[in-house]
Amino acid sequence: MIAFKNNCFYLNTANTCYCIEIAENGALLHRYYGKRIAAQSLDYFQNGVHRPSCFPVCINGCVTTYSELPYEYGAFGRGDTRFPSFKIEDDNGRVVSELKYVSHKIT
């Protein structure tokens, strides 16, 4: 079953739950995978450790950095230092990408 509540997708099986949040900047963030839970606020799953950074951003009311966000699908060149899921190069050779959530329909 798939549910959507509090800007989060809850993908439930008989025993497990996988939660993906739509951040206020449009990024899809991994919030939870584990024992099945009901659709609820997942604020307590946010990383409470904030490291000094040259490029802090405020997302969902928390000051963080792009490298600390738990992206569901990482992109190249936005400060997320993990291995990117994809790399797109434009005509000028730039490779910075930022995926943004647009819409969904659960049927």
Whole-structure pTM value: 0.72
pLDDT digits (tens, 9 = 90+) for 45-72: 555 555 555 566 676 677 666 667 778 8
CA distance 34 to 2: 15
Handedness of CA 53, 54, 60, 66 (dihedral sign): negative
Query: Which run of H or of E encompasses 2?
Result: strand 2-5
CA distance 35 to 102: 29
